[in-house]
Chain A
Amino acid sequence: MDLSKEKGLIEKAKKDPEAFGKIFDENYPKIFGYILKRVANLEIAQDVTSETFLKALKNLWKFRWRNIPFSAWLYRIANNEIANFFRKRKYKSVSLEKIPEPIAVSNPSIEIIEAQEKLKAHKDFLALQEKILRLPLKYQEVISLRFFEKKKIREIAEILGKKEGTIKSLLRRGLEKLREKFNATF
Protein backbone atom coordinates (compact mmCIF):
# COMPACT_ATOMS: atom_id res chain seq x y z
CA MET A 1 0.00 0.00 0.00
CA ASP A 2 1.46 3.41 -0.92
CA LEU A 3 1.95 6.03 1.77
CA SER A 4 -0.80 8.44 0.69
CA LYS A 5 -3.35 5.61 0.57
CA GLU A 6 -2.20 4.40 3.96
CA LYS A 7 -2.46 7.90 5.40
CA GLY A 8 -6.08 8.13 4.21
CA LEU A 9 -6.91 4.71 5.62
CA ILE A 10 -5.50 5.62 9.03
CA GLU A 11 -7.51 8.83 9.16
CA LYS A 12 -10.56 6.75 8.26
CA ALA A 13 -9.69 4.17 10.91
CA LYS A 14 -9.99 6.86 13.58
CA LYS A 15 -13.69 7.09 12.72
CA ASP A 16 -14.58 3.73 11.25
CA PRO A 17 -13.82 0.32 12.82
CA GLU A 18 -13.89 -1.37 9.42
CA ALA A 19 -10.96 0.72 8.24
CA PHE A 20 -9.14 -0.30 11.40
CA GLY A 21 -9.97 -3.90 10.50
CA LYS A 22 -8.30 -3.39 7.12
CA ILE A 23 -5.18 -1.99 8.77
CA PHE A 24 -5.15 -5.01 11.08
CA ASP A 25 -5.47 -7.45 8.16
CA GLU A 26 -2.65 -5.71 6.34
CA ASN A 27 -0.24 -5.67 9.28
CA TYR A 28 -1.05 -8.76 11.35
CA PRO A 29 1.09 -11.23 9.36
CA LYS A 30 4.27 -9.16 9.48
CA ILE A 31 3.90 -8.15 13.14
CA PHE A 32 3.08 -11.71 14.24
CA GLY A 33 5.96 -13.02 12.10
CA TYR A 34 8.38 -10.50 13.59
CA ILE A 35 7.37 -11.24 17.17
CA LEU A 36 7.57 -14.98 16.53
CA LYS A 37 11.10 -14.57 15.18
CA ARG A 38 12.02 -12.55 18.26
CA VAL A 39 10.56 -14.85 20.91
CA ALA A 40 10.69 -18.18 19.04
CA ASN A 41 7.64 -19.44 20.89
CA LEU A 42 4.13 -19.61 19.46
CA GLU A 43 2.11 -19.07 22.63
CA ILE A 44 4.21 -16.09 23.67
CA ALA A 45 4.10 -14.71 20.12
CA GLN A 46 0.28 -14.86 20.17
CA ASP A 47 0.09 -13.07 23.51
CA VAL A 48 2.60 -10.38 22.59
CA THR A 49 0.88 -9.83 19.22
CA SER A 50 -2.50 -9.44 20.95
CA GLU A 51 -1.02 -6.95 23.40
CA THR A 52 0.66 -5.05 20.55
CA PHE A 53 -2.56 -4.57 18.59
CA LEU A 54 -4.55 -3.72 21.73
CA LYS A 55 -2.00 -0.99 22.53
CA ALA A 56 -2.19 0.18 18.91
CA LEU A 57 -5.98 0.47 19.16
CA LYS A 58 -5.76 2.30 22.50
CA ASN A 59 -3.32 4.81 21.04
CA LEU A 60 -4.73 5.00 17.52
CA TRP A 61 -6.21 8.45 18.10
CA LYS A 62 -2.87 9.77 19.38
CA PHE A 63 -1.09 8.55 16.27
CA ARG A 64 0.28 11.39 14.13
CA TRP A 65 1.26 10.72 10.55
CA ARG A 66 4.99 11.32 10.00
CA ASN A 67 5.26 10.15 6.40
CA ILE A 68 6.59 6.75 7.34
CA PRO A 69 4.66 3.48 7.11
CA PHE A 70 2.16 2.72 9.85
CA SER A 71 3.88 -0.62 10.30
CA ALA A 72 6.95 1.22 11.69
CA TRP A 73 4.77 2.39 14.59
CA LEU A 74 3.45 -1.14 15.08
CA TYR A 75 6.99 -2.55 15.04
CA ARG A 76 7.90 -0.02 17.72
CA ILE A 77 4.96 -1.06 19.91
CA ALA A 78 5.88 -4.70 19.30
CA ASN A 79 9.45 -3.99 20.42
CA ASN A 80 8.17 -2.41 23.63
CA GLU A 81 5.89 -5.36 24.29
CA ILE A 82 8.70 -7.84 23.61
CA ALA A 83 10.90 -5.86 26.01
CA ASN A 84 8.08 -5.96 28.60
CA PHE A 85 7.86 -9.70 28.15
CA PHE A 86 11.59 -10.24 28.61
CA ARG A 87 11.65 -7.88 31.59
CA LYS A 88 8.82 -9.58 33.41
CA ARG A 89 9.25 -13.08 31.98
CA LYS A 90 5.76 -13.57 33.15
CA TYR A 91 3.39 -12.12 30.69
CA LYS A 92 -0.17 -11.35 31.67
CA SER A 93 -1.78 -12.65 28.56
CA VAL A 94 -4.86 -11.17 26.99
CA SER A 95 -7.68 -13.62 27.27
CA LEU A 96 -9.13 -14.25 23.87
CA GLU A 97 -10.67 -17.42 25.23
CA LYS A 98 -13.77 -15.58 26.40
CA ILE A 99 -14.49 -14.68 22.81
CA PRO A 100 -16.13 -17.65 21.14
CA GLU A 101 -14.79 -18.84 17.83
CA PRO A 102 -17.38 -18.36 15.05
CA ILE A 103 -18.70 -21.43 13.25
CA ALA A 104 -15.46 -23.36 13.13
CA VAL A 105 -13.72 -23.27 9.79
CA SER A 106 -10.58 -24.64 11.37
CA ASN A 107 -9.42 -26.23 14.56
CA PRO A 108 -7.25 -23.85 16.62
CA SER A 109 -5.38 -26.61 18.45
CA ILE A 110 -4.51 -28.35 15.16
CA GLU A 111 -3.38 -25.01 13.76
CA ILE A 112 -1.05 -24.52 16.74
CA ILE A 113 0.34 -28.06 16.49
CA GLU A 114 1.00 -27.58 12.77
CA ALA A 115 2.63 -24.20 13.36
CA GLN A 116 4.71 -25.71 16.17
CA GLU A 117 5.92 -28.43 13.79
CA LYS A 118 6.85 -25.83 11.17
CA LEU A 119 8.78 -23.82 13.74
CA LYS A 120 10.61 -26.87 15.12
CA ALA A 121 11.64 -27.90 11.60
CA HIS A 122 13.79 -24.78 11.28
CA LYS A 123 16.53 -25.90 13.63
CA ASP A 124 19.18 -23.60 12.13
CA PHE A 125 17.01 -20.60 12.74
CA LEU A 126 16.18 -21.66 16.30
CA ALA A 127 19.84 -22.29 17.10
CA LEU A 128 20.75 -18.85 15.80
CA GLN A 129 17.88 -17.21 17.65
CA GLU A 130 18.92 -18.94 20.84
CA LYS A 131 22.27 -17.13 20.60
CA ILE A 132 20.65 -13.80 19.69
CA LEU A 133 18.38 -14.09 22.73
CA ARG A 134 21.46 -13.98 24.95
CA LEU A 135 22.33 -10.48 23.69
CA PRO A 136 21.03 -7.29 25.32
CA LEU A 137 17.65 -6.24 23.86
CA LYS A 138 19.03 -3.23 21.97
CA TYR A 139 21.18 -5.58 19.87
CA GLN A 140 18.44 -8.19 19.46
CA GLU A 141 16.16 -5.51 17.99
CA VAL A 142 18.58 -4.22 15.36
CA ILE A 143 19.84 -7.65 14.35
CA SER A 144 16.33 -9.08 13.98
CA LEU A 145 15.03 -6.08 12.04
CA ARG A 146 18.08 -5.99 9.77
CA PHE A 147 18.49 -9.68 9.00
CA PHE A 148 15.13 -11.35 9.63
CA GLU A 149 12.84 -8.51 8.57
CA LYS A 150 15.29 -7.36 5.88
CA LYS A 151 14.82 -3.71 6.90
CA LYS A 152 17.12 -0.97 5.68
CA ILE A 153 19.13 1.09 8.20
CA ARG A 154 16.81 4.07 7.54
CA GLU A 155 13.73 1.95 8.27
CA ILE A 156 15.23 0.56 11.48
CA ALA A 157 16.01 4.12 12.54
CA GLU A 158 12.36 5.08 11.92
CA ILE A 159 11.08 2.10 13.88
CA LEU A 160 13.37 2.58 16.86
CA GLY A 161 13.28 6.38 16.76
CA LYS A 162 17.08 6.61 16.65
CA LYS A 163 19.58 8.17 14.25
CA GLU A 164 20.94 6.08 11.37
CA GLY A 165 24.46 6.42 12.75
CA THR A 166 23.31 5.00 16.09
CA ILE A 167 21.69 2.05 14.33
CA LYS A 168 24.88 1.35 12.37
CA SER A 169 26.98 1.27 15.51
CA LEU A 170 24.42 -0.81 17.41
CA LEU A 171 24.44 -3.27 14.55
CA ARG A 172 28.23 -3.39 14.44
CA ARG A 173 28.54 -3.91 18.19
CA GLY A 174 25.67 -6.41 18.20
CA LEU A 175 27.36 -8.50 15.53
CA GLU A 176 30.62 -8.41 17.45
CA LYS A 177 28.90 -9.65 20.58
CA LEU A 178 27.03 -12.32 18.68
CA ARG A 179 30.30 -13.50 17.13
CA GLU A 180 31.80 -13.74 20.61
CA LYS A 181 28.88 -15.93 21.69
CA PHE A 182 29.48 -18.25 18.75
CA ASN A 183 33.23 -18.40 19.31
CA ALA A 184 32.73 -19.12 22.99
CA THR A 185 30.66 -22.16 22.04
CA PHE A 186 33.31 -23.68 19.80
Chain B
Amino acid sequence: MEEENLIKKLEEASLPEIEIPSHKRKLKRVLLNKYFREKRNWEIFNILRKVVPVGAIVIILIILISNNLIFPQYSLAKAKEIAIRDPQIKELIEKGAIIKDVKILQDKAYVLVQPLAGAEMEAEEIKTGLKTEGEFLGALAEVDLKEKKVSRIEKVTPQFSPLAEGEKEKAKEIAENNPEIRKIIPEEAEITKIMPVPFSQLRLIKEKNSVRVVPEQIKEKRVRIIYELNKNQWEGEIDLIEEKVGGVKFLGETEE
Protein backbone atom coordinates (compact mmCIF):
# COMPACT_ATOMS: atom_id res chain seq x y z
CA MET B 1 0.00 0.00 0.00
CA GLU B 2 1.28 3.46 -0.94
CA GLU B 3 1.71 6.07 1.78
CA GLU B 4 -0.86 8.41 0.18
CA ASN B 5 -3.41 5.61 0.17
CA LEU B 6 -2.72 4.84 3.80
CA ILE B 7 -3.10 8.50 4.80
CA LYS B 8 -6.34 8.69 2.81
CA LYS B 9 -7.60 5.56 4.56
CA LEU B 10 -6.74 7.00 7.96
CA GLU B 11 -8.30 10.36 7.16
CA GLU B 12 -11.49 8.73 6.01
CA ALA B 13 -11.72 6.29 8.92
CA SER B 14 -14.42 7.46 11.25
CA LEU B 15 -16.32 6.32 14.24
CA PRO B 16 -19.60 8.02 15.16
CA GLU B 17 -19.99 9.62 18.55
CA ILE B 18 -20.75 6.71 20.81
CA GLU B 19 -21.97 7.61 24.27
CA ILE B 20 -23.07 5.65 27.29
CA PRO B 21 -25.07 8.23 29.26
CA SER B 22 -25.49 5.99 32.32
CA HIS B 23 -21.70 5.65 32.63
CA LYS B 24 -21.29 9.40 32.31
CA ARG B 25 -23.89 10.07 35.03
CA LYS B 26 -22.46 7.50 37.42
CA LEU B 27 -18.90 8.68 36.92
CA LYS B 28 -19.91 12.30 37.47
CA ARG B 29 -21.59 11.41 40.75
CA VAL B 30 -18.59 9.40 41.91
CA LEU B 31 -16.30 12.32 41.09
CA LEU B 32 -18.47 14.92 42.79
CA ASN B 33 -18.76 12.76 45.89
CA LYS B 34 -14.99 12.26 46.03
CA TYR B 35 -14.32 15.96 45.45
CA PHE B 36 -14.08 17.14 49.08
CA ARG B 37 -11.97 14.17 50.19
CA GLU B 38 -9.46 14.77 47.39
CA LYS B 39 -9.41 18.50 48.11
CA ARG B 40 -8.78 17.85 51.79
CA ASN B 41 -6.01 15.34 51.01
CA TRP B 42 -4.36 17.88 48.77
CA GLU B 43 -4.62 20.63 51.37
CA ILE B 44 -3.07 18.45 54.07
CA PHE B 45 -0.32 17.34 51.71
CA ASN B 46 0.33 20.89 50.59
CA ILE B 47 0.59 22.28 54.11
CA LEU B 48 2.95 19.51 55.18
CA ARG B 49 5.03 19.87 52.03
CA LYS B 50 5.46 23.61 52.44
CA VAL B 51 5.88 23.90 56.15
CA VAL B 52 7.79 20.91 57.36
CA PRO B 53 11.07 19.51 56.02
CA VAL B 54 10.94 15.91 54.79
CA GLY B 55 12.74 14.30 57.76
CA ALA B 56 10.48 16.08 60.22
CA ILE B 57 7.41 14.99 58.22
CA VAL B 58 8.36 11.37 58.74
CA ILE B 59 8.83 11.80 62.50
CA ILE B 60 5.66 13.86 62.91
CA LEU B 61 3.66 11.41 60.82
CA ILE B 62 4.77 8.53 63.00
CA ILE B 63 3.87 10.42 66.17
CA LEU B 64 0.57 11.71 64.86
CA ILE B 65 -0.56 8.44 63.35
CA SER B 66 0.25 6.62 66.54
CA ASN B 67 -1.81 9.18 68.45
CA ASN B 68 -4.60 9.04 65.89
CA LEU B 69 -4.30 12.78 65.42
CA ILE B 70 -3.59 13.22 61.76
CA PHE B 71 -6.71 11.45 60.70
CA PRO B 72 -8.96 12.51 63.52
CA GLN B 73 -12.50 11.32 63.54
CA TYR B 74 -13.53 14.94 63.22
CA SER B 75 -12.16 15.24 59.72
CA LEU B 76 -14.38 16.58 57.01
CA ALA B 77 -14.05 13.41 55.00
CA LYS B 78 -15.19 11.34 57.95
CA ALA B 79 -18.19 13.62 58.50
CA LYS B 80 -19.07 13.31 54.85
CA GLU B 81 -18.81 9.55 54.95
CA ILE B 82 -21.12 9.34 57.97
CA ALA B 83 -23.61 11.66 56.25
CA ILE B 84 -23.62 9.63 53.03
CA ARG B 85 -24.43 6.46 54.99
CA ASP B 86 -27.61 8.06 56.34
CA PRO B 87 -30.64 6.82 54.33
CA GLN B 88 -32.15 10.29 53.86
CA ILE B 89 -28.93 11.85 52.65
CA LYS B 90 -28.26 8.80 50.49
CA GLU B 91 -31.68 9.24 48.92
CA LEU B 92 -31.00 12.90 48.18
CA ILE B 93 -27.67 12.04 46.56
CA GLU B 94 -29.26 9.30 44.49
CA LYS B 95 -31.74 11.88 43.25
CA GLY B 96 -28.95 14.10 42.00
CA ALA B 97 -27.96 16.25 45.01
CA ILE B 98 -24.35 16.77 46.03
CA ILE B 99 -22.57 17.57 49.27
CA LYS B 100 -21.98 21.28 48.89
CA ASP B 101 -20.20 22.19 52.11
CA VAL B 102 -19.07 20.71 55.42
CA LYS B 103 -18.17 22.54 58.63
CA ILE B 104 -16.96 21.10 61.91
CA LEU B 105 -17.98 22.55 65.24
CA GLN B 106 -16.60 20.82 68.32
CA ASP B 107 -17.82 17.22 68.16
CA LYS B 108 -20.48 17.92 65.54
CA ALA B 109 -20.21 18.31 61.79
CA TYR B 110 -22.70 20.12 59.59
CA VAL B 111 -23.19 18.85 56.07
CA LEU B 112 -25.02 20.92 53.48
CA VAL B 113 -26.63 18.89 50.70
CA GLN B 114 -27.97 20.76 47.68
CA PRO B 115 -29.28 19.93 44.22
CA LEU B 116 -26.74 20.61 41.49
CA ALA B 117 -27.14 24.13 40.06
CA GLY B 118 -29.91 24.14 37.49
CA ALA B 119 -31.30 20.78 38.63
CA GLU B 120 -34.56 21.48 40.39
CA MET B 121 -35.74 18.92 42.92
CA GLU B 122 -39.25 18.94 44.23
CA ALA B 123 -39.38 18.42 47.98
CA GLU B 124 -42.34 16.13 47.64
CA GLU B 125 -40.06 13.72 45.79
CA ILE B 126 -38.03 13.25 48.94
CA LYS B 127 -39.81 10.43 50.68
CA THR B 128 -38.31 10.47 54.11
CA GLY B 129 -38.44 13.15 56.71
CA LEU B 130 -38.12 16.20 54.52
CA LYS B 131 -41.50 16.05 52.88
CA THR B 132 -42.77 19.56 52.32
CA GLU B 133 -44.17 21.40 49.37
CA GLY B 134 -42.37 23.55 46.87
CA GLU B 135 -38.86 23.80 45.52
CA PHE B 136 -36.23 21.86 47.45
CA LEU B 137 -33.21 24.07 48.10
CA GLY B 138 -31.20 21.72 50.23
CA ALA B 139 -30.87 19.96 53.54
CA LEU B 140 -28.58 20.51 56.50
CA ALA B 141 -27.49 17.38 58.33
CA GLU B 142 -25.99 17.49 61.79
CA VAL B 143 -23.49 14.68 62.24
CA ASP B 144 -22.58 13.48 65.70
CA LEU B 145 -18.91 12.63 65.28
CA LYS B 146 -18.67 10.76 68.57
CA GLU B 147 -21.67 8.56 67.86
CA LYS B 148 -20.75 8.42 64.17
CA LYS B 149 -24.30 9.05 63.00
CA VAL B 150 -26.53 11.77 61.62
CA SER B 151 -28.37 13.21 64.59
CA ARG B 152 -30.65 15.67 62.80
CA ILE B 153 -31.63 16.66 59.28
CA GLU B 154 -33.58 19.73 58.43
CA LYS B 155 -34.72 21.28 55.22
CA VAL B 156 -32.84 24.47 54.40
CA THR B 157 -34.97 27.55 54.95
CA PRO B 158 -35.17 29.68 51.82
CA GLN B 159 -32.90 32.71 51.96
CA PHE B 160 -34.24 35.90 50.45
CA SER B 161 -33.02 39.39 50.07
CA PRO B 162 -35.94 41.81 50.40
CA LEU B 163 -37.22 43.59 47.33
CA ALA B 164 -37.14 47.37 47.16
CA GLU B 165 -40.01 49.19 45.45
CA GLY B 166 -37.66 50.20 42.65
CA GLU B 167 -36.74 46.57 42.06
CA LYS B 168 -40.40 45.57 41.86
CA GLU B 169 -40.98 48.30 39.28
CA LYS B 170 -37.94 47.20 37.31
CA ALA B 171 -39.18 43.58 37.33
CA LYS B 172 -42.62 44.70 36.09
CA GLU B 173 -41.02 46.74 33.32
CA ILE B 174 -38.84 43.81 32.15
CA ALA B 175 -41.90 41.53 32.20
CA GLU B 176 -44.08 44.02 30.29
CA ASN B 177 -41.53 44.33 27.52
CA ASN B 178 -40.87 40.62 27.21
CA PRO B 179 -42.44 39.02 24.11
CA GLU B 180 -42.58 35.55 25.70
CA ILE B 181 -44.60 36.80 28.68
CA ARG B 182 -46.86 38.81 26.38
CA LYS B 183 -47.43 35.74 24.25
CA ILE B 184 -48.20 33.31 27.07
CA ILE B 185 -49.98 35.48 29.64
CA PRO B 186 -53.19 37.27 28.55
CA GLU B 187 -52.92 41.04 28.53
CA GLU B 188 -55.89 41.36 30.93
CA ALA B 189 -54.20 39.22 33.60
CA GLU B 190 -53.37 41.18 36.72
CA ILE B 191 -50.24 41.05 38.79
CA THR B 192 -51.21 39.69 42.21
CA LYS B 193 -47.83 39.13 43.75
CA ILE B 194 -44.22 40.13 43.26
CA MET B 195 -41.83 38.24 45.46
CA PRO B 196 -38.14 37.49 45.65
CA VAL B 197 -36.88 34.07 44.57
CA PRO B 198 -34.76 32.35 47.21
CA PHE B 199 -31.01 32.14 46.61
CA SER B 200 -30.24 28.86 44.88
CA GLN B 201 -26.56 28.52 45.81
CA LEU B 202 -25.79 28.25 49.49
CA ARG B 203 -22.79 27.63 51.74
CA LEU B 204 -22.08 27.24 55.43
CA ILE B 205 -20.40 29.71 57.74
CA LYS B 206 -19.14 28.94 61.19
CA GLU B 207 -20.16 31.32 63.94
CA LYS B 208 -19.15 31.22 67.59
CA ASN B 209 -21.37 28.36 68.69
CA SER B 210 -23.31 27.52 65.57
CA VAL B 211 -23.17 26.93 61.86
CA ARG B 212 -25.37 29.00 59.59
CA VAL B 213 -26.55 28.53 55.99
CA VAL B 214 -25.91 31.65 53.94
CA PRO B 215 -26.12 32.47 50.23
CA GLU B 216 -23.02 32.01 48.11
CA GLN B 217 -21.18 35.25 47.48
CA ILE B 218 -22.52 35.57 43.99
CA LYS B 219 -24.62 38.31 42.50
CA GLU B 220 -28.08 36.85 42.26
CA LYS B 221 -31.40 38.69 42.34
CA ARG B 222 -34.39 36.94 40.92
CA VAL B 223 -38.02 37.92 41.23
CA ARG B 224 -41.20 35.92 40.77
CA ILE B 225 -44.29 37.71 39.40
CA ILE B 226 -47.66 36.02 39.78
CA TYR B 227 -50.42 36.93 37.30
CA GLU B 228 -54.08 36.04 37.67
CA LEU B 229 -57.09 36.07 35.35
CA ASN B 230 -60.39 34.25 35.91
CA LYS B 231 -58.86 32.02 38.60
CA ASN B 232 -56.00 31.07 36.28
CA GLN B 233 -52.49 31.79 37.48
CA TRP B 234 -49.20 32.25 35.66
CA GLU B 235 -45.72 32.83 36.92
CA GLY B 236 -42.88 34.78 35.36
CA GLU B 237 -39.36 34.69 36.71
CA ILE B 238 -37.23 37.78 36.17
CA ASP B 239 -33.49 38.01 36.58
CA LEU B 240 -32.87 41.56 37.74
CA ILE B 241 -29.09 41.36 37.37
CA GLU B 242 -29.17 40.10 33.79
CA GLU B 243 -32.37 42.10 33.16
CA LYS B 244 -34.08 39.22 31.43
CA VAL B 245 -36.92 36.77 31.84
CA GLY B 246 -35.79 33.42 33.19
CA GLY B 247 -39.01 31.54 32.48
CA VAL B 248 -42.80 31.72 32.21
CA LYS B 249 -45.20 29.01 33.23
CA PHE B 250 -48.88 28.36 33.77
CA LEU B 251 -49.52 27.49 37.41
CA GLY B 252 -53.08 26.21 37.05
CA GLU B 253 -56.26 27.35 38.71
CA THR B 254 -56.36 29.08 42.07
CA GLU B 255 -57.97 27.16 44.88
CA GLU B 256 -61.34 28.35 46.09
Please list the residues of chain A having a beta carbon within 8 angstroms of any beta carbon in chain B: 14, 17-18, 20-21, 24-25, 28-29, 32-33, 36-37, 42, 46, 49-50, 53-54, 57-58, 60-62, 94, 96, 99-103, 106-108, 111-112, 115, 118-119, 122, 124-125, 128, 143, 147-148, 175-176, 178-179, 182-183, 186
Contact = CB atoms under 8 A, between A and B. Distances in A.
Interface stretch (B24-32, B57-65, B135-143, B247-255): B24-32
A4 B76 CA distance: 32
Interface string B34-64: 1110110011001000000000000000000
A140 B96 CA distance: 38
Interface of B: 1, 3, 6-7, 9-11, 13-36, 38-39, 42-43, 46, 94-96, 98, 100, 116-117
Contacts, number: 130
Contacts of B9: 128
Given A17-B32, A21-B32, A33 B18 contact: yes
Contacts of A49: 23, 27
Contacts of B22: 101, 106-108, 111
Contacts of B32: 17, 20-21
A186 B1 contact: yes
A148 B11 CA distance: 7
Nearest to B125: A103
B30 A148 contact: no
Contacts of B30: 50, 54, 94, 96, 99
A148 B195 CA distance: 53
Contacts of A57: 31, 34-35, 38
A53 B31 contact: yes
Given A57-B38, A108-B23, A178-B6, A99 B31 contact: no
Nearest to A108: B22
Contacts of A175: 3, 6-7
B38 A58 contact: yes
A17 B32 CA distance: 6
11 contacts: A21-B31, A21-B116, A24-B31, A32-B19, A32-B24, A96-B23, A96-B27, A103-B94, A118-B16, A128-B10, A178-B6
Given A101-B22, A128-B10, A36 B15 contact: yes
Nearest to A118: B18
Nearest to B118: A18
B39 A29 contact: no
Nearest to B29: A99
Contacts of A143: 10
Contacts of B100: 17
B98 A42 contact: no
Nearest to A178: B6
B1 A17 contact: no
A125 B12 CA distance: 9
A148 B43 CA distance: 39
Given A57-B31, A115-B20, A125 B46 contact: no
A181 to B, nearest CB: 10
Contact of B39 (A32, A61, A183): A61
Contact of A24 (B7, B28, B46, B98): B28
B18 A119 contact: yes
Contacts of A128: 9-10, 13
